[in-house]
Amino acid sequence: MPRTVLIIEDDQEMRELLAHYLRKEGFSPVVATDGESGLARARADPDRRLAIICIEISVSPADISR
């Protein structure tokens, strides 16, 4: 079973690039465009399958920890 990676990135080109390279390495990327939708995606994962969460460096930890 591939490990799931949540990518939180507002830039579409960067999201697609990250997802592409992660797929090539055998990961299963899940994408979100902002911290709020990323948190919703993480919470919606009933099995807590997320291996890694990649966020844009300018996203404040306070934004995603609410």
Structural domain contains residue 63: no
Contacts of 6 (CB under 8 A, 6+ apart): 29, 30, 31, 32, 38, 41, 42, 50, 52, 53, 54
Contact 19, 7 (CB under 8 A): yes
* Mean pLDDT score across all residues of the chain: 80
Structural domain contains residue 65: no
Structural domain contains residue 64: no
What would the pLDDT profile of 42-65 be if each residue is shown by its tens digit? 888 777 677 676 666 665 555 555
Contacts of 62 (CB under 8 A, 6+ apart): none
What would the pLDDT profile of 8-33 be if each residue is shown by its tens digit? 888 899 899 999 999 999 998 989 99
* Domain CATH for 8: 3.40.50.2300
Structural domain contains residue 45: yes
Question: Which pLDDT belongs to residue 60?
Answer: 57
Residue numbers of the domain that contains 30: 4-58
Domain count of the fold of the chain? 1
